[in-house]
Amino acid sequence: MSDAELGTMLARAAGEELLRVRWESGLEGKELGKAGDAAAQSVLAALLAEHRPDDAVLSEEAKDSPARLIASRVWIIDPLDGTREFSEGRADWAVHVALWESGDLTLGAVAIPDEELVLNSAEVAPAPERTDGAPLRLAVSRSRPPAITEPVRAALDAELVPMGSAGVKISAVARGQVDAYVHAGGQYEWDSAAPIAVARAAGLHTSRIDGSPLLYNDADPYLPDLVVCRPDLAPRILAAIAENTDGDS
């Protein structure tokens, strides 16, 4: 099985497990979220151990190991991105499976199980062009919108589209459901690695909010901000952010 096929298989398997937990556990709220995080982690860990025993793993739900810093292949996974939305019975949550090899992301698979969808960087379609003249749409965290949201919205004269899960928001840009996603103030590598690989493969602009590249498999996996958008919008978005930040918002 190729890495790309494995990525899709992993994301789908964890997604199916999460749907099962939601239907069968009888849990609600935070307890359901915790059970989902643990169940999806255990599916992904078992499948990676079986199919790629020599590779390193960086997961939101597992203890980090310095072994990944000298490894040439590292799977960066978020077993359940959008835990809050999953536990509320909403559809905007995702499973993230990325592969980093010798310096950069080489693969990303994002499952959105409530839509029976898996996006894979190896086969994703180019993000659609906008030709309808309707207002631009800016995806933003529904629970933690950053301070830069309003200046960026104003610069684009855009409508805000609040959604859960970084993976769902980045996928929404790749699918042409929104035009951009901007985040600042906190996130980790696993929150963005897989959907960023998908976004790059779909031809989108991806960067930090200062325009610098998003880098993965760092010793410190904190990666607090990002911009994902159609390439033609990047100059306006980055300029609006630069005019409205002191570097930490």
Ligand X SMILES: Nc1ncnc2c1ncn2[C@@H]1O[C@H](COP(=O)(O)O)[C@@H](OP(=O)(O)O)[C@H]1O
Phi (first) and psi of residue 35, to 5 degrees: -65, -40
Among residues 121, 16, 22, which one has the least CA distance to residue 76?
A: 121
CB of 22 to ligand X, least distance (A): 15
Least separation in angstroms between residue 191's CB and Mg ion is 4
DSSP one-letter string for 203-248: T-EEE-TTSPPP--S-SS-B---EEEE-GGGHHHHHHHHHHT-SS-
Does the annotation flag 78 for ligand binding?
yes
- Does the annotation place 37 within a ligand binding site? no
61 is in an annotated binding site: no
Partner interacting with residue 195 (select from Mg ion, ligand X, none; CB below 5-8 Å by kind): none
Which of the listed partners (ligand X, Mg ion, none) does 149 bind, with a CB threshold of 5 to 8 Å by partner kind?
none
Binding site annotation covers 132? no
Complex with ligand X: residue 89 or 186, whichever CB lies closer = 186
Contacts of 167 (CB under 8 A, 6+ apart): 78, 81, 82, 94, 95, 96, 110, 112, 191, 194, 195
Q: Which of 81, 85, 92, 225 binds Mg ion (CB under 5 A)?
A: 81
Measured from the CB of residue 146, what is the shortest distance to ligand X in angstroms?
Answer: 8
One-letter amino acid for residue 237 of the chain: I
**Torsion angle of C-alpha atoms 209, 211, 216, 221, degrees rounded to 10:** -30
Residue 90 corresponds to which tokens in the numbers above?
């909403």
* Interacting residues toward ligand X by CB under 6 A: 60, 78, 81-83, 141, 143-144, 164-166, 185-187, 191
Closest-approach residue to Mg ion (CB): 81
The secondary structure of residue 135, as a DSSP letter, is P
Q: Which is nearer to ligand X, 30 or 144 (CB)?
A: 144
Choice between 129 and 246, CB closer to ligand X = 246
- Binding-site residue numbers for Mg(2+) are 60, 78, 80-81, 191
